[in-house]
Amino acid sequence: MISSKNLTSVMLSHPTGTLKGSIKLPASKSEANRALIIAALSGQESELHNLSEANDTQLLQRLLRSDAEIIDAEDAGTVMRFLTAYYAVTGQQKILTGTERMCQRPIKVLVEALKELGASIEYMGEEGYPPLKMNGFSGNGKRNLKVRSDISSQYISALLMVGPLLPDGLELELEGKIGSRPYIEMTLSLMQHFGVSATFEENTITVPHQQYKAATFHVESDWSAASYWYSLVALAREADITLLGLREKSFQGDRAIVDIMDRLGVYTAFVEEGVKLSKKNPERQVSYDFSDCPDLAQTVVALCAGLGVTVEMTGLESLRIKETDRIQALQIEVLSMNSSLQEISPGVFRLEPGIITKDELSFRTYQDHRMAMAFAPLALLEPVQIQEPSVVRKSYPRFWEDLEKVGFTIAHEE
Ligand SMILES: O=C(O)C1=C[C@@H](OP(=O)(O)O)[C@@H](O)[C@H](O)C1
Ligand SMILES: C=C(OP(=O)(O)O)C(=O)O
């Protein structure tokens, strides 16, 4: 598999521009990682099917079985945040760390909330950031907390999942804008699937003390991964692509890609085995709010630069603290296509596409899987070099092999 090799780059091209085939997408790492944490908290044997082969999920599975004192969450945000709450409330003494980038991704909101609930946690480096030293749980903390919800929804999800184990349950009052809200709803849906009820009214989520029950859960295909296939279809000369294992009713907010791409040239038909994508005419100018689906922003920026569509975007705040500063990475990389991405007023970004003048494009990936997968579809326009292609292993390890299945030629560069 290309993503398991240490290649400096891959060179992609497509001889015909016509895409035809059925693709088995990876399973959602977001759903899988919630199911794993909840199953571990239930203390009972649940049956989890179609767990993602994404590194983020494989890693969490390994770490939940590990009795090591030092736990390395690598570059996986959900793993870092969910395990912080998990170790805190189960009273495990651990050192939790991650990649250099993970130690620059803030975690203060979560740590301070857990401390109020009765956890003893120390910052081993800079205050507010990993690595963390988890020193146990007293259990006599507060029950009602106010938490900021405008930085990362993963803090809220992490707290909610441990909520039923707390002696008096948990009441969270969310303060500020609720970013990535569908991920919070996904957490509550998964909790419900494992027998725990909670209420979400206005800005307050209440989780009474309860016991999780064992359950069988089948992880759905990943809608975020689907977004790259939508982009491929939009850029293809002709396309008939079926994405397997996606459902019309999904726990995942990134299902929003269906409506986003409807305006960018892709028609979706829900069929028995998943979705069938075909081409339609794109609009010339679009605007989107990515507050509910931040992981789709890179797909849309790269595609619009390729299609020559102007796009105005809001809701991008959280992109600065993900695998890389995604806004900065996008601003740099679209330049090679003579496009520009600028903040035209506070919080409003506009991509102005230009004419591609190079006969070969090259993109850096900034240790971010989504940079690689968002820019790869441009190889339907000109040959594209993607640097450090192994980054895709975080969420979609077989991405390059799936491109080969629909006729891409991929040359490896050591
Ligand atoms: O809870 C989750 O599974 C995720 C929540 C989102 O993060 P933020 O809540 O930090 O925006 C998303 O970007 C990430 O890929 C997965
Ligand atoms: C932001 C992402 O992941 P995480 O925050 O879980 O590292 C992502 O997969 O795009």
Which ligand has the shortest distance to the CA of 154? 1
pLDDT digits (tens, 9 = 90+) for 310-345: 999 999 999 999 999 999 999 999 999 999 999 999
**Domains plus CATH for the chain?**
2-26+221-413 (3.65.10.10), 29-218 (3.65.10.10)
Query: Quick check: helix, strand or coil at residue 196?
Result: coil
Q: Report the atom number in ligand 1 closest to the C-alpha of 33.
A: 3
Helices 181-193, 29-42: crossing angle, 10 deg rounding: 40
Residue 30 in marked binding region:
yes
Ordered alpha helix ranges (H), 350-398: 369-375
The pair of three-digit structure tokens given for residue 325, joined into one six-digit string = 């500063």
With a 6 Å cutoff on the Cβ, whether 187 touches ligand 1 is no
Listed in order, strand segments (DSSP E) in 50-163 are 70-72, 94-97, 119-123, 132-137, 144-148
With a 6 Å cutoff on the Cβ, whether 368 touches ligand 2 is no
What is the 76 CA–ligand 2 centroid distance (Å)? Answer: 6
For a mutational test of ligand 2's pocket, the pick from 57, 78, 107, i.e. the residue with the most ligand atoms closer than 8 A to its C-beta, is 78
Question: Which residue is it, tokens 């799936």?
Answer: 402
What pLDDT was estimated at residue 271? 97
Q: pTM of the prediction?
A: 0.97
Alpha-carbon span 73 to 154, nearest angstrom: 14
pLDDT digits (tens, 9 = 90+) for 34-56: 999 999 999 999 999 999 899 99
CB 50 within 8 A of CB 31: no
Alpha-carbon span 286 to 83, nearest angstrom: 39
Alpha-carbon span 262 to 284, nearest angstrom: 13
Question: Which residues of the chain are under the pLDDT cut of 70?
Answer: none
Among protein residues, the one whose CA lies closest to atom 7 of ligand 2: 77
What pLDDT was estimated at residue 52? 85
Alpha-carbon span 234 to 261, nearest angstrom: 8
With a 6 Å cutoff on the Cβ, whether 370 touches ligand 2 is yes
Give the CA angle between residues 261, 266, 270 to the nearest 5°: 95
What pLDDT was estimated at residue 232? 98
Which residues are the active-site residues?
A: 295
Among protein residues, the one whose CA lies closest to atom 8 of ligand 2: 295
Among protein residues, the one whose CA lies closest to atom 10 of ligand 1: 152
Alpha-carbon span 41 to 236, nearest angstrom: 46
What pLDDT was estimated at residue 139? 75
